[in-house]
């Protein structure tokens, strides 16, 4: 069956600008792999698209043959949304343009870039746009789903910094979306998560961010309730220049971490002060540090922004097992702190972690219906990530993430960040878009009535 599809593709997609890879080809194993090794799917065809016309042709091919179509940016989504059994993958990885306009403070970015490519190019001019915390994550998924990271409090979510997008729609047409052009599409794709079209090129706003004062502070996990309580009370009142996400985890067993603390379980924060003045950064961090016992490690220092952005790359290469759960949180009660302390002390493997990403500051400047991201009132986005290189531990890490998230879910705001959920069903997707779901479903009905783009956190056409 899949070789019939590949034959049809080679016959029908002549002069294809890109590469067609099917199960018979030597590069197939590499081409079918996504970041999460728990996902093991075998598409009939992986079409690496080198331009928007190629994307349009692949969409047309999948539709003509009634095949499920996956769109892949960086391939990082935990649920494996960038691949599909027996169907067609439009792999955008050849779309690698990164063009900085330092005067206009914008960057044009191909839909198949990963964030490291963008961060390095913009840093040449002392500029940056907000993204995630791992440099190998795809621009496409983050920029259509939300985008939270070290610059959230200062510059907002990634979606808040999109100025334009070039999009291939389900009918193959190619359009530009901006505040002035195709405004409904522009609204929907800033959070609607790939439901509305394939973005072949984004234009992002840039901010003057160059050297940052960043790094972790780790406390022993047995004082974690104290750390989390102090963090919860401190951060929402800190200036926007200071970002700090909270984590449970294990000190990695490698330099630069001192040997005596390697493999110790920890509660910590990862700082990012958006400025190069170490003394000013220390002053802003002091109220939290002074309120707590001596940490095992305090390693915040000046570094170029791209160095911070790639700080976790070594710990999280492609090919690990991942199981994610997530929630938005308005506030963290004392009861919730105690539950966090229990599950945080039980992180099952070195790579498994819980993060509380702040989503206040500049992210709160945007109203709840200005983009599909409906939880503008929430203060944190929680993620429970069971991670391990060994497939034998897949059940163990999944159990921990599920039990942890089930225990904390009653203390959450309801929905979750769509980019950090697995396949959790329609009600969960609906809850995550809150009051914006109906408008999204109407736009979906207009632009993609047959739900061609359905391998995502799916918004059903109304």
Q: Is 431 in the site for ligand FAD (CB under 6 A)?
A: no
Task: Check if the beta carbon of residue 39 is closer than 8 Å to that of residue 83.
Answer: yes
Give the binding range for ligand FAD (CB under 6 A) out of 38-46, 133-141, 267-275, 294-302. 133-141
Nearest approach in angstroms of CB 167 to ligand FAD is 8
Nearest to 254 by CA among 317, 302, 300: 317
Q: Which is nearer to ligand FAD, 139 or 336 (CB)?
A: 139
Rounded to whole angstroms, the Cα distance separating 184 from 362 reads 23
Q: Is 149 in the site for ligand FAD (CB under 6 A)?
A: yes
Q: Show the site string, 163-202: x = touches ligand FAD by CB under 6 A, - = not.
A: ------------------------------xx---xx---
Q: Is 118 in the site for ligand FAD (CB under 6 A)?
A: no
Q: Is 147 in the site for ligand FAD (CB under 6 A)?
A: yes
Q: Which is nearer to ligand FAD, 87 or 147 (CB)?
A: 147
Residues with Cβ within 8 Å of residue 199, at least 6 apart in sequence: 111, 140, 143, 144, 165, 166, 167, 189
Rounded to whole angstroms, the Cα distance separating 355 from 417 reads 13
Q: In which region does residue 425 sit, left (phi positive, over 0), alpha (psi from -120 to 50) or beta (all else)?
A: left
DSSP 458: P
Options 106, 135, 144, 161; binder of ligand FAD; rule CB under 6 A? 144
Give the binding range for ligand FAD (CB under 6 A) out of 18-26, 67-75, 173-181, 435-443. 67-75
Q: Which is nearer to ligand FAD, 225 or 420 (CB)?
A: 420
Q: Is 110 in the site for ligand FAD (CB under 6 A)?
A: no
Q: Is 73 in the site for ligand FAD (CB under 6 A)?
A: yes
CB atoms within 10 A of CB 418: 30
What are the backbone angles phi and psi of residue 388, rounded to the nearest 5°? -165, 145
**In this structure, what token pair is assigned to residue 362?**
């500049």
Residues numbered 10-49 forming contacts with ligand FAD, rule: CB under 6 A: 35
Q: Which is nearer to ligand FAD, 296 or 363 (CB)?
A: 363
In whole angstroms, how far apart are CA 299 and each of 152, 309, 350, 375? 21, 16, 20, 32
Q: Is 141 in the site for ligand FAD (CB under 6 A)?
A: yes
Options 22, 43, 44, 75; binder of ligand FAD; rule CB under 6 A? 75
Nearest approach in angstroms of CB 334 to ligand FAD is 28
Q: Mind giving me the DSSP string for 311-377?
A: TTTTTS-TT-EEEEEEEEES---HHHHHHHHHHHTT--STT-EEEEEE--GGGGGS-TTTSS---TT
**Interface ranges with ligand FAD (CB under 6 A):** 35, 71-77, 81-82, 92, 111, 132-134, 137-138, 140-142, 144-149, 193-194, 198-199, 316, 419-420, 455-456
């Amino acid at each position: 069956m899949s070789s019939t599809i590949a034959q049809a593709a080679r016959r029908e997609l002549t002069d294809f600008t890109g590469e067609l890879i099917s199960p018979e080809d030597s590069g197939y194993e590499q081409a079918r792999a996504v970041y999460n090794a728990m996902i093991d799917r075998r598409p009939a065809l992986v079409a690496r698209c080198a331009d928007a016309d190629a994307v349009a042709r692949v969409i047309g091919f999948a539709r003509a043959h009634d095949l499920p179509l996956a769109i892949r940016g960086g391939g990082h989504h935990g649920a494996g949304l960038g691949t599909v059994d027996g169907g067609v993958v439009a792999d955008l990885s050849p779309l690698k343009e990164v063009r900085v306009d330092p005067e206009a403070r914008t960057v044009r970015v191909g839909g198949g870039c990963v964030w490291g490519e963008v961060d390095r190019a913009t840093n040449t001019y002392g500029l940056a746009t907000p993204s995630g915390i791992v440099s190998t994550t795809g621009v496409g998924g983050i920029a259509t789903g939300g985008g939270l990271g070290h610059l959230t409090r200062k510059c907002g979510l990634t979606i808040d910094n999109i100025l334009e997008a070039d999009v291939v729609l389900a009918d193959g047409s190619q359009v530009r979306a901006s505040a002035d052009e195709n405004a409904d599409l522009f609204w929907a794709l800033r959070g609607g998560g790939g439901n509305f079209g394939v973005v072949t090129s984004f234009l992002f706003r840039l901010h003057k961010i160059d050297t940052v004062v960043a790094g972790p502070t780790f406390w022993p996990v047995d004082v974690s309730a104290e750390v989390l309580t102090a963090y919860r009370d401190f951060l929402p009142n800190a200036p926007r220049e200071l970002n700090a996400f909270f984590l449970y985890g294990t000190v990695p067993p490698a330099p630069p971490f001192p040997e005596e603390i390697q493999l110790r379980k920890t509660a910590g924060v990862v700082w990012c002060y958006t400025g190069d003045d170490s003394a000013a950064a220390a002053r802003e961090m002091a109220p939290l540090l002074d309120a707590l016992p001596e940490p095992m490690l305090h390693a915040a220092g000046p570094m170029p922004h791209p160095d911070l952005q790639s700080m976790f790359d070594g710990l999280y290469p492609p090919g690990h097992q991942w199981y994610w759960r997530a929630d938005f949180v308005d506030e963290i009660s004392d009861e919730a702190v105690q539950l966090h302390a229990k599950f945080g002390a039980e992180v099952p493997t070195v790579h498994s972690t819980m993060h509380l990403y702040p989503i206040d500051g500049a992210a709160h400047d945007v109203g709840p219906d200005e983009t599909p991201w409906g939880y503008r009132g929430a203060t944190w986005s929680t993620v429970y990530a069971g991670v391990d290189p060994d497939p034998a531990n897949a059940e163990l890490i999944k159990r921990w993430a599920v039990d942890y998230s089930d225990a904390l879910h009653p203390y959450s705001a309801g929905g979750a960040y769509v980019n950090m959920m697995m396949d959790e069903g329609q009600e969960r997707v609906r809850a995550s878009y809150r009051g914006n779901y109906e408008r999204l479903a109407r736009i979906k009905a207009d632009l993609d009535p047959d739900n061609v783009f359905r391998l995502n956190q799916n918004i059903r056409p109304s």
